[in-house]
Structure 1
Amino acid sequence: MAQSPATAPIRQESVVEISAPRPAMPSWFVDARPTDDAWVALDALANAASQGLNSQDYRAQALAAAFQQAAQTGTASDAQARLDAELGAALERYLLDMNHGRLSPETLKHRFKAPLTERFDAYNHVVQARLNGRLAAALQEAQPKIPMYQAIRAAMLEYQAMGDHPAWNVPLPPLASRSLKPGDAYEGLALIAARLAALGDLPADFVPGEQYDSDMVFAAIQFQARHGLEADGLIGPATLEQLNVSPAQRVEQMALTLERLRWTPLLYGPRMIVVNVPEFVLRAYEQQGGHIRLDLEMRVIVGRALDTRTPIFLEDMRFIEFSPYWNVPSSIARGETLPRLRRDPDYFSQQGFEFVSRDGSVSNTLTGEAIDAVQNGEWRIRQRPGPRNALGDIKFIFPNDQNIYLHHTPAPQLFSRSRRDFSHGCIRIEQPVELARFVLQNQPDWTTDRIEQAMRRGTSRTLRLNEPIPVLITYSTVIIKDGGKVYFFPDIYQQDARLSQALRSARPS
């Protein structure tokens, strides 16, 4: 049975498997006193928070106290041997956690079926650094080479530097009406201005007037754009909620994002498609000469947070289906389609539905017997290709056991919403032709005209890709973009909350 985050173990890979004798770690003492390297190591553990880690996991305070005592009074050989082993083990674990994460993604039921990357040899990294007299530099070099890791870490350090900022010491007062509009008075204007100034959306010396003026509206629009909100300048409950999130809470959010980055296979293939669920964005990119080139970015619609969440996983795209049929999942058929057909029989022909029996025969006639057969699981119902088809005119298939795929939509107006969790779990894409061109770029006979013709033809055709392309469905509520700006997104699926709980539960006693 799968373990809940509350009972999940520490990531098993953090236990080093010794296949050959390891070289001896130089002692952290000379003449019974701590070496310079000891203080470098202790400083790294004490500042684990700068990597989004917790110094308590490495007994940083207790080790520092023990080494301080040794520096003052010296230490006996047996105590020295014990401290040598404890500091070495703590530093090794710190480096492994920094590179591979403290938990396995399976803890949160993330299905990343990528092969394990080459494991960072933390022990030998430290030994060689110490033998060469360059431990401090080696600890810097050991930081993960993961896309966006250093940028998010830099933003996290800026928020850490805010400390217990006085602008968040008291909550914002409730709004007098549904939203704060330009020209309105509000007793919390000075507090909002102080928070926007602290976050860089207003000048540090800005003094608000008695009304919500144009300068503050513009600053609010900038804030909203960076926090996954409708950037309209109106301050309603959602904007107020984000304004109430303190810098310390943002630090925790970024630390959780760093943890996810450590075990998310963002560099799995030379070409990849990545969907970031809470951002509602798809990106397609290529790796060239160690550099990542972004080829495509578009808005997407993902599964509803309430009941049909899009799962987090990695699979290879292998097919494209032009002018697809939509085989209505049995849960949707029983819960939505069949009840609608019983109320409104005309809906059957209007939407282009048909029944398919077990032997594959097709019926275009709506009958009570056919409805009962679908209800009982004997038949299925599907929607023919056409302008009303729920999948639009193209479907991108990456076979998986949860029947999730990318597809177009007959309702593109939903892409204009700031929050876009409307689907039954599959992912609707805004720019299907552009995505098809990216996917098929190594099949040059599939030109833009040919792709568009296949989408319009109305006859279903499935195309096998010459080269599979990894599709990663991931979850990050913090990203850096637009020249280094930090963007935060609501935790719509409560994945950050679950990860935070799992890390607390897995912490060693």
Structure 2
Amino acid sequence: MTPPPILLRAPAERRGVPARWVAVACLALPAFAAPAREPALREDVSAALTRLQSRQEATAADLARFYGERGFEPAWFANGRPTAQAGEAVALLRTAVSHGLEPADYDAEGLAQRLRDAYRETIAATDTALTSGLFAFLRNLGRGRIVPPRLRFEPARRMDEPDLARVVAEATTAGRLPGLAARLAPASAQYERLRGALARYRVLASEPLAALPAVRKLAPGQDYAGIAALHRLLVALGDLAPGTGVPQRYEGEIVAAVRRFQERHGLDADGVIGKASLAALNAPLRGRVRQIELALERLRWLPPLTADKLIVVNVPEFRLRAMRRDGETFSTALRMNVIVGRALDTQTPMLIEELRRIEFRPYWNIPPSIARKEVVPRLRREPEYLAREAMEFVPTRGGRPTTEPSEAMLEAVLRGEARIRQRPGPRNALGAIKFVFPNNANIYLHHTPGTALFARGRRDFSHGCIRVEAPVELARFVLEEETGWDEARILAAMREDASPRTLRVRTPIPVLVFYTTAVAEEDGRMFFLPDLYGHDAALDAALRQRP
């Protein structure tokens, strides 16, 4: 069937519809074109669409196809009145708040008022505005409001763009519009747990408690004027059971509750309330609400993760989780502490790549930046440092390694004609095992001979790579499907007398190096962490720039 000329040519010629959008709409008309009812109203819709497209470039193509497929008939009005589905669309926009998004960004209340007040001359503008708001919400829900590369996160695998025109058309036809949010939001247990926490913390933030009195240092057994206020706060936050009595002094169960609070907020869980703990206890809960909203936004950046295993490093938490698929989501099989890049100058980047091999007894090829800034200057001061640290020079264009720290070799390193590497052994910075997931930042997981730092609360000490506390357990998780690679064989491959060896992983495992300061644990506890690299502040500022 050939569409009537007025649908495709007359509006474009008389109303200025961009030719590229008309062309997009033409492609799908035979399958979805609605029967013509009011030519004048269709021209009004076309004109309103043109005005919207000039302001909504992100959804312009979807809008053109959506209305083209229905012959430029209104989508949310019939016989001059809003349909029931128009109300469902507005209700869907109002759910944005439960996802940490702002319904005002999609003009939810304004559109509700326009539907109530609509008359013949405003139908077209109201109809297209509602479709535009719905498309914008669904796109943000599925992919996030902010483009990740703006905030130093570039997923290796791109998400497919949702066909919003078809998705909404099919949902309205089948009566499934209310379910679209669940369909397009991240299919993640963490995402749903955070949504539940968001609702709880909004309630808590709406009923603020009195601030705790200042105290320089409160240790167990001491008197405290704010003991009743501390009790109320800990009960409200879930760290203290509601039936627990208020003690006369700071001791007993309330100390244990403070330890639980400290653990959940990235503090040393010693039960002593000092400056940092008091600040966390008195932090406005609206700030915790915002942390959860930012965590939800970051989860919307992730592509679907379809593998059976997943390794996640959360940088500000200094934690690694090895996870197995459990139905539609993942459950945690292994947790461990990690050491990440220094906040000041060597931050660990966010990325998603695949773990493809394990290197036992690895060489450490010192990155050129570290060689230039640290190793070469030190060798000029202490030539013996090369032998002490079991390092050697390797020409980049072939030639034998040398352990002679001559000025000529140092200059060759600075020119990029040689590199410095550290041989396997007890001094090697990578320890006895390295987990390789190739990436542009040259970041990897590895063992370390210096394990004392894992006991620290704050653990940003590396040049950017990630040191793992339990490398044998992680290797067992990675290699559990590999025949013959039990714990004994892993330990044998890591022994000092073993030769360097590279083992390819049969089924690559996605590694997600992530950054979130709000984590909803499987047991229901909420963890809030300091903004180690300032990424929360940057994301918050970006999101406050209204679309």
Q: Which protein is bigger by CA-based radius of gyration? A: 2
Contact between 1:264 and 1:474, CA under 8 Å: does it hold in 2? Answer: no
Unmatched tracts of structure 2, length 5 or more: 1-54
How far apart, CA to CA, are the structure 2 residues paired with 1:468 and 1:140?
Answer: 29
Q: Which range moves more in the overlay, 470-479 or 37-46?
A: 37-46
Matched residue, 2:254: 216
TM-score, normalised via structure 1 length: 0.86
Post-superposition offset of 1:485: 1.6
Contact between 2:74 and 2:124, CA under 8 Å: does it hold in 1? Answer: no
Matched residue, 1:3: none
1:350–1:13 CA distance, 2 compared to 1 (3 A): farther
- Residue by residue over 1:103-148, the C-alpha shift from the partner in whole angstroms, topping out at 9 and shown as x without a partner, is 221121212111424x444444444444444544555555442231
Matched residue, 1:383: 422
Unmatched tracts of structure 1, length 5 or more: 1-9
1:184–1:370 CA distance, 2 compared to 1 (3 A): farther
Contact between 1:440 and 1:465, CA under 8 Å: does it hold in 2? Answer: yes
- Residue by residue over 1:379-401, the C-alpha shift from the partner in whole angstroms, topping out at 9 and shown as x without a partner, is 33221111111000011222222
How far apart, CA to CA, are the structure 1 residues paired with 2:230 and 2:220?
Answer: 14
1:205-244 map, 5 Å: 208=246, 211-244=249-282
Matched residue, 1:364: 403
Matched residue, 2:198: 156
1:263-342 map, 5 Å: 263-265=301-303, 267-287=305-325, 290-342=328-380
Aligned length: 488
Matched residue, 1:59: 107
Q: CA RMSD in A?
A: 2.9
AA at the equivalent of 1:162: L
Post-superposition offset of 1:421: 1.1
Contact between 2:158 and 2:303, CA under 8 Å: does it hold in 1? Answer: no
Matched residue, 1:400: 439
Contact between 1:50 and 1:157, CA under 8 Å: does it hold in 2? Answer: yes
Contact between 2:341 and 2:464, CA under 8 Å: does it hold in 1? Answer: yes
1:455–1:13 CA distance, 2 compared to 1 (3 A): farther
Is structure 2 residue 485 aligned with structure 1 residue 421?
A: no
Matched residue, 1:260: 298
Post-superposition offset of 1:97: 1.5
- Residue by residue over 1:346-404, the C-alpha shift from the partner in whole angstroms, topping out at 9 and shown as x without a partner, is 43333212222344322223445544544554433221111111000011222222211
1:15–1:209 CA distance, 2 compared to 1 (3 A): farther
- Residue by residue over 1:458-484, the C-alpha shift from the partner in whole angstroms, topping out at 9 and shown as x without a partner, is 432223333333222111222222422
Contact between 1:14 and 1:97, CA under 8 Å: does it hold in 2? Answer: no
Matched residue, 2:532: 492
Is structure 2 residue 69 aligned with structure 1 residue 22?
A: yes
- Aligned to 1:425, the other structure's residue is in SS state coil
Contact between 1:322 and 1:454, CA under 8 Å: does it hold in 2? Answer: yes
Post-superposition offset of 1:12: 8.1
- Aligned to 1:492, the other structure's residue is in SS state coil
- Aligned to 1:92, the other structure's residue is in SS state helix
- Aligned to 1:462, the other structure's residue is in SS state strand
Contact between 2:208 and 2:285, CA under 8 Å: does it hold in 1? Answer: no
Which structure carries more helix by proportion? 2
TM-score, normalised via structure 2 length: 0.81
Is structure 2 residue 479 aligned with structure 1 residue 440?
A: yes
How far apart, CA to CA, are the structure 2 residues paired with 1:425 and 1:43?
Answer: 45
1:450–1:289 CA distance, 2 compared to 1 (3 A): same
The percentage of counterpart residues that share the same residue type is: 45
Post-superposition offset of 1:88: 2.4
- Aligned to 1:166, the other structure's residue is in SS state coil
Q: Which range moves more in the overlay, 479-488 or 417-426?
A: 479-488
Contact between 2:187 and 2:329, CA under 8 Å: does it hold in 1? Answer: no
Post-superposition offset of 1:290: 3.5
Is structure 2 residue 207 aligned with structure 1 residue 165?
A: yes
